[in-house]
Chains A and B, each alone.
Chain A
Amino acid sequence: MSTTKKISEDQREFDDNRGDDSRRPSPAAPPIAVRPLRHMADLDYSVVQQCMHCGMCLPSCPTYLETRQERNSPRGRIALMRAIADGNLEVTKEFGEEMYYCLGCLACTTACPAGVDYPKLFEHARAEIEHQGVLFTPERAFWRWLTLRQIFAKPWMLHAVGRMLYFYQASGLCSLVRKSGVLRLIPANLRNLEPSTPIVRCHFSAELIAEVEKPANTGHRVGMLTGCVQDLIFSEVNRDTVEVLLANGCEVVTPRQQGCCGSLHAHNGDLEQAAVQARRLIDQFEIDSLDAIITNAAGCGSHLKHFSHLLGHDSDYREKAAKWDGKVRDISEWLVSTDFRKPAGDAAAQKVTYHEACHLCHGQGISRQPREILKAVPGLELVELENASHCCGSAGVYNITQPEQAAKLQQEKVACIQRTGASLVATANPGCHLQIQNGLGEAAVVKHPVTLLAEAYRAEKAGEATP
């Protein structure tokens, strides 16, 4: 199947004009609003035609299993997209709501024998929905502008917001606010989320990781992606990743102020900004000097590997993006492919179970490698999780936009975890990490597999120091 995408000339100009990250259109280009973007119509027809509606995807789809209605299934959604491409259906509010009811978990991609490129269809459908504004409300537009075009578009702003949140949480202001009842002033869906706001770390990645870190004996030279959420909330996972890489003879290069990779934008219908984010990220790495570019967040990884799809029409970046795609590796993928060093020593036995982040197993086809890492950690006994590859309901911002469905999936996940009797859950994506930890409460601890490996290396070192 062809993976080429046709982007209209208008779109190309439009994207090129946006390279400077300015919101003001250049004098040569008319204002954005009159640009005829046609995300669905311009999609190569063979991508929708690839679906032969056999129904094999139905049992994998969390929303179909919930409602048993065809429109809430992958083939149903593709049928709607095909109807739009054929001119038999307009992009309607109903279609918009349907595409935002989809989790984008990509379980259907794994289930599909026909090889339908659902991620591409999903992103283009959402982009078209945003372009046509069928879901427009002033409130929604404000939040989208604030998050996609401001906070997650500008690394300095993300850090500033992170600092403010840290201060709010660490100073005790947080509990004061909760007691004061001020929270009643904000909308209920956001208020309900407040208690599960993740704890921002005191130190962000750049404070924990030097720009270049070298091991005693260098084998490979790799770039390190620090992410956005990972950078603020799980900066220690980034540190652990670097330590594991160092322990395996990798020189690690970590550019400062990386910001969001744009997966958040692409998954939420803002392909233009996603392209801007991608270009910025590419510019920060000397791709040719690196053996691999390492990510430890599944949601980012499955997006980072497809920059050439996003920038394929951009003559300045097309080649760079192709090179980039070829070098991005998930940390577990990299470690297993380079035959990582198994830590020695013994530790108290502990049961661990593994939740497969959707964008690792379905998005990148990485399933075996994280388990191999867990099996290599002394003391850990891996207990398989029932429905390990079912979505936990985090799905990017799904738990904010569709709290009800997200909560159902969270409860199902927690119930499965509890049946394993494991006190430790490993997962490799910040969204899943938070969603599952919030669901579990005190019942079990969630950790990134790389953290468990880093801990084992540290224990090994401590054991050597005190024989």
Chain B
Amino acid sequence: MKPRRCGYIRGSIAYGMKDSPTNFSPGSPVALRLAEIVGESNVFTCPEDLIPYGFDGTAALKESAVCVVLPRSTEAVAGVIRLAAAEKIPVVTRGSGTGLSGGSVPVEGGIVLCLVHLNRILEVDPANLTMLCECGVITKAVDDAATPHGLFYPPDPGSMKISTIGGNVANNSGGLRGLKYGVTRDYVMGIEVVLPSGEVAWLGSKCVKDVAGYSMKDLFVGSEGTLGVITKVLLKLVPRPKARRTLLASFDTMEAAARTVSQIIEKQIIPCTLEFLDRKTCASVEAYAKVGLPTGAAAVVLMETDGHPAVVGEEAAAMADIARENGAISVEQAADEAHATRLATARRSAFSALARIRPTTILEDVTVPRSRLVEIVSYVEEVAARHRLDIATFGHFGDGNVHPTILTDETDHEEMERVELALSEIVDKTIALGGTITGEHGVGLAKKAFLPRQFDEASYALLKQVKRAIDPHGLLNPGKIFDLGTAH
């Protein structure tokens, strides 16, 4: 096989040779100031240290970083932001870099502010059902810390084993349990945020009811690092469900699967998870995880109900009946808790497992009202056929969030043009169905071009107005979500 060659799609200039308006080289005034603020061993400017920060979890988006700092306290973060504000240096905040919209890809000439060292859980308050932690705590560690108190932190994005809670809040991450438990926003009671001026603000409280002033914390949830740097998070916890039951149903048509899901919801059963995987996704996931997914069926639905043991048993039986009534080829129940966890973990790996098929995996995140789900799934199939593309689809049936995943090769320019067309058409259809271009991954760079299609003029202008009010110099994650235009 002939070795393939390709340059970076973006930022193809050799590392270390890039012109940056700011001089970050060791010994330069900015580098010295940064070293004073975060400590010399936490400032990185050599190519071997920088290259691995040139991307996040998004395919085909790269930009070379010129300076990475890893502060270890809110004070240090504030110091970096004050310096950046004084020197007019852009700053991109990141956690573990698992984002799926390019939101934490570096911006040219900017500082990459990586917050993984701010990883202390500061307080679990069982009396108020809250947890206070620093932004760099791993999502799964939040739930693990809640467990001994009989408490539960439900949001479970696919990357929960490594994503940071700060990143989750900044992107308002979803997960498999969104249908019943909602998304990250529903669990954020307060945040500590470093404003673009370098001032530190606390927003929110432990009070369930709190209507003092604007709901400022909500402005920062999902702001993708463009308004402030979230350094601490006060989270709401809920009682840990006593029981759960996991079912796996397979169908020979996507329509039958979708009908099953609609009927489950019509019968007013709200399971915590209603995930679907198409044939291609199932085969890839099974190749990796070997958990016994049916690989021949057109659609597999993973259903999970949790709560009081009696209710769980009843709901599981009802869901199995509905699946059978709709012609399910098979309905199986997870053998035990461990098997149920393996199934959910396998589902979470779907996106990465699909990378086995082609070199580049472009993941979409369109979301439609639940009732329009079949329409968007069949439309994706139609688009794939029309543009001769390999598209696998999986996602959250219960909340209308689908992940059409285009399996392609970024080095094949002709194919990439067809990919662009397909993406554009899927986005248009989504908007026509009353949906949104992104359900849980955020806009970042990847969906920036599509945002004006979804927003009317007034609301798009409002976004920019908010940005200008809070970050007048446009220094925090500039160029993500939208371009400010002539703000500088």
Contacts and interface: CB of A to CB of B under 8 A. Distances in A.
A50 B57 CA distance: 13
A54 B70 contact: no
B458 interface: no
B310 interface: no
Interface stretch (B5-13, B82-90, B381-389, B465-473): B5-13
B332 interface: no
Given A6-B3, A54-B57, A79-B55, A68 B98 contact: no
Contacts of A76: 51-52
A79 B51 contact: yes
B4 A46 contact: yes
Contacts of A145: none
B46 A94 contact: yes
B6 A86 contact: yes
B159 interface: yes
Main secondary structure of the interface of A (DSSP, over half): loop
Given A6-B1, A55-B162, A112 B54 contact: no
B352 A79 contact: no
B6 A114 contact: no
A115 interface: yes
Interface in B349-381: 349, 351-353, 355-356, 359-361
Interface string A65-96: 00011110101110110010011110010110
Interface in B15-57: 15, 44, 46-49, 51-57
Interface in B329-351: 349, 351
Contact of A88 (B3, B15, B351, B352): B15
Contacts of B356: 1, 113-115
Given A70-B53, A86-B8, A94 B48 contact: yes
B248 interface: no
B349 A71 contact: no
Given A53-B57, A113-B288, A73 B52 contact: yes
Contacts of B47: 83, 89, 92
Interface stretch (A37-45, A123-131, A369-377, A458-466): A37-45
Interface in B423-453: none
A412 interface: no
Contacts of B53: 70
B14 A88 contact: yes
Contact of A114 (B49, B163, B355): B355
In this complex, the interface size class of chain A, counting residues with CB under 8 Å from chain B, is: 35 or more
B91 interface: no
A284 B51 CA distance: 46
Contacts, number: 126
A150 interface: no
Contact of A89 (B15, B59, B288): B15
B54 A56 contact: no
B352 A83 contact: no
B48 A113 contact: no
B161 interface: yes
Given A53-B55, A56-B349, A45 B3 contact: yes
Contacts of B285: 113
Nearest to B285: A113
A80 B48 contact: yes
A53 B352 CA distance: 9
A387 interface: no
Contacts of B70: 68-69
B48 A52 contact: no
Contacts of A55: 56-57, 96-98, 159, 162-163
A73 B97 CA distance: 12
B308 interface: no
24 contacts: A43-B3, A45-B3, A45-B5, A46-B359, A52-B360, A52-B361, A53-B97, A54-B352, A55-B96, A56-B349, A59-B161, A59-B162, A71-B51, A73-B52, A79-B55, A83-B51, A86-B6, A89-B14, A89-B51, A95-B48, A113-B285, A113-B352, A114-B355, A115-B356
Interface of B: 1-8, 14-15, 44, 46-49, 51-57, 59, 70, 96-98, 114, 116-117, 138, 159, 161-163, 285, 287-289, 349, 351-353, 355-356, 359-361
Given A80-B51, A88-B14, 17 more contacts: A6-B1, A44-B4, A49-B359, A49-B360, A50-B359, A52-B57, A54-B352, A54-B355, A56-B159, A59-B138, A68-B117, A70-B97, A83-B15, A89-B48, A113-B351, A113-B352, A113-B353
